[in-house]
Amino acid sequence: MTTGSPWFRATNEPEPEPIPADPYGAPSPYQEPAPAPYPYTEQAAYQEPRQPYQDPAQAYRQEPPQAYQEEPPQAYGQPAPTYRETEQTYREPEPVYEAPRETTYDAPREDAYTPPYEPYEASEPPQASPGDTTVLEAVEPLPGPGRAERRRAAKGGGRGKSRRGGPPTTTAGAPTGEPPAAPLSRVEARRAARAAKDSVGVIASRAVGELFITFGVVMLLFVTYQLWWTNILAGQETDRAKEQIEDTWAKGDADKDDSKPGAFEPGEGFAIMYIPKLDVVVPVAEGINKAKVLDKGMVGHYAEGKLKTAMPSDKQGNFAVAGHRNTHGEPFRYINRLQPGDPIVVETRNAYYTYEMASILPQTAPSNVSVIDPVPKGSGFTKPGRFITLTTCTPEFTSTYRMIVWGKLVEERPRSEGKPKALVG
C-alpha cells in the first residue's frame, strides 16, 4: 500500500516495517527506524512546476488598445498647443570634497626641484599658499653681515656685484637669490679690490674710444662750418662790400677812378659782377688774397706781380678774376653751366662792361698762368682784344685743378645811360 503525494514520494516505495518489540516485553522509545531496503532513501528535492513558454511580443500584441481621448478646445485667441514642453531645470553637480593628500618621502629625491632661496625680512611672517594644509614652522631671520662686509658694501656703494667677481649682490653684500657668503678676510679683500680695478688695456681702449668720438664730433662741426656757416658769413661780407662800393660811387670821389693804375689798395672793392644765367651778383676786389678777398665771398682781380692783368676800362687786355667754387659764398660754383653767348656784366664807377662767354677749359694745372695772358692760350683768341677770364678750383670741394672760362667784350655802356639790355631783360 502506498501513501503520500504523488510528487513528494515515489509510488512504489513501501511503507516502513513496524519496530519489533523489545524481547523483554516493553518497546524501546529510542529505537531508530530500520533502514530502507532500497538504496535510494533521500527525499526528492522540491521542484517548481514548469510554466508554459510565452512570447513577449505576443503578450504585447494581446494588450487591449487604449481609447483615444481628444483634448478639450482652447479658448478663443489662444493657439492650441501642438506639443508639450517639459521644463527641465539644470542643476550643477554638488562638489565632492577631497581631502588633500600629503606625500612623504623617507629620503630626498635627486630629481626633485629645489626652488631658489628667497630671503625675507624678519618682521614679515611666512605666508601659506591657498589650499596648502602644511603647517609652516617659524624661521629665524638670517644673521646680518659682519663689520668688514658692511664696510666693503659701503665703499662699493652697492654696485650690484660682489668683491670676488661672483653673482650680483645686494647692498648688504649678500648675493641676490642666494644665501650670504662668508665674510672675506683682510688679505682676500685687498686681492678682490685689486682684481676689481680696470686693467691698463681697458683704460687705454676707453681713452682711445673717447678720443675717436671727440675727433668725429669735431670733424662733423668743421664740415658744417665749411659748407653752411661760411656761406652765411660770406653773404654778410658781400652785402657790406656792395654797400660800401655804391656809397663810394655816390660820393663821386675822383681819386678812385678805375682808369688810373694803382688806384685801389689790395682787398678794396671797386666793381660789381653780374652773371644773369646763374643769378650771381658779387663784388670785385683788388687782389686774390684768400683771407682778405676770396674767403669773404668776393671775386679777386689778378693785379699783383707777374699775375697782374688789365682793368675793364683798358682799351686792350685781359681782365682776369678768381673766385671760390665751394664754401665762402661759392660765387663760381656753377660757371661750368655757361654756354657760348651767355652775358657776363661788370659794373664800375663810370660804365657797364658786357662780355659774352666764348669758351671753357674744364681742367688745367694750377701752374698754367698762360690762361690769363693778354691773349690767353687755349681760349681760341688769336689777336689782342678786350677779354675777361674767370678761374676757379675743380673738381668740387678740392683744389687739385683749375677751371677756366673766357669771354669777349661786346658792349661798353656809361652808367648815365642806364643798365644794359643783359641786366634789364
User: What tens digit of pLDDT does each residue of 350-370 get?
Assistant: 999 999 999 999 999 999 999
Average pLDDT over residues 224-231: 85
pLDDT at 247 over 80: yes
pLDDT at 209 over 60: yes
Place of cell 638670517: 142
Q: Is 324 a catalytic residue?
A: yes
Tell me how far apart the alpha carbons of residues 37 and 116 are, in angstroms, rounded to a whole number.
96
Per-residue pLDDT band for 236 (boundaries 50, 70, 90) equals very high
pLDDT at 381 over 90: yes
Exposed / middle / buried, residue 397 (Cβ in 10 Å: 0-12, 13-18, 19+): exposed
Candidate ranges 5-9, 42-46, 131-135, 220-224; pick with highest mean pLDDT:
220-224
* Plot region of 77 (φ>0 → left; ψ -120 to 50 → alpha; else → beta): left
Check residue 386 and give its pLDDT: 96
Q: Is residue 21 part of a domain?
A: no
Residue of 152, 163, 386, 393 marked catalytic: 393
Per-residue pLDDT band for 251 (boundaries 50, 70, 90) equals confident
CATH number of residue 400's parent domain: 2.40.260.10
Asked whether 395 and 410 are in contact (CB, 8 A), the reply is: no
Among the residue ranges 26-30, 68-72, 154-158, 270-274, the one predicted with the least confidence is 26-30
Mean pLDDT of the chain: 76
The boundaries of the domain holding residue 412 are 236-424
Q: Is residue 116 part of a domain?
A: no
Check residue 193 and give its pLDDT: 81
Per-residue pLDDT band for 171 (boundaries 50, 70, 90) equals very low
CB atoms within 10 A of CB 223: 10
- Which amino acid, one-letter code, is at 44? A
Check residue 227 and give its pLDDT: 83
Task: Please name which of 282, 397, 401, 421 lies closest in space to residue 346, comparing C-alpha atoms.
Answer: 282
Per-residue pLDDT band for 419 (boundaries 50, 70, 90) equals very high
- Overall domain count for the chain: 1
Check residue 287 and give its pLDDT: 93
Task: Please name which of 252, 242, 250, 212 lies closest in space to residue 331, comparing C-alpha atoms.
Answer: 242
Give the model confidence (pLDDT) of 288-333 as tens digits: 999 999 999 999 999 888 899 999 999 999 999 999 999 889 999 9
Task: Please name which of 16, 8, 10, 12 lies closest in space to residue 32, comparing C-alpha atoms.
Answer: 16
Residue of 163, 328, 402, 413 marked catalytic: 402
Residue 384 main-chain phi, psi, to 5 deg: -60, 155
Q: Is residue 68 part of a domain?
A: no
Place of cell 483634448: 71
Among the residue ranges 230-234, 315-319, 387-391, the one predicted with the least confidence is 230-234
Check residue 363 and give its pLDDT: 95
Q: Is 402 a catalytic residue?
A: yes
Asked whether 285 and 304 are in contact (CB, 8 A), the reply is: no
Tell me how far apart the alpha carbons of residues 348 and 314 are, in angstroms, rounded to a whole number.
12
pLDDT at 105 over 70: no
Average pLDDT over residues 80-95: 62
* Residues sharing a CB contact under 8 Å with residue 300, sequence separation 6 or more, in sequence order: 284, 285, 286, 287, 288, 289, 293, 294, 321, 322, 323
Residue of 324, 328, 349, 386 marked catalytic: 324
Average pLDDT over residues 243-261: 75
Residue 313 main-chain phi, psi, to 5 deg: -80, -10
Q: Is residue 90 part of a domain?
A: no
Average pLDDT over residues 384-396: 95
Among the residue ranges 46-60, 155-169, 347-361, the one predicted with the least confidence is 155-169
pLDDT at 159 over 60: no
pLDDT at 377 over 70: yes
Exposed / middle / buried, residue 179 (Cβ in 10 Å: 0-12, 13-18, 19+): exposed
Check residue 53 and give its pLDDT: 67
pLDDT at 269 over 90: yes
Q: Is residue 150 part of a domain?
A: no
Check residue 120 and give its pLDDT: 47
pLDDT at 131 over 80: no
Q: Is residue 206 part of a domain?
A: no
pTM over 0.75: no
Q: Is residue 214 part of a domain?
A: no
pLDDT at 177 over 80: no
Place of cell 673766357: 406
Average pLDDT over residues 176-183: 64
Average pLDDT over residues 91-102: 70
Average pLDDT over residues 371-389: 94
Check residue 68 and give its pLDDT: 63
pLDDT at 139 over 60: no
More confident residue, 286 or 97: 286
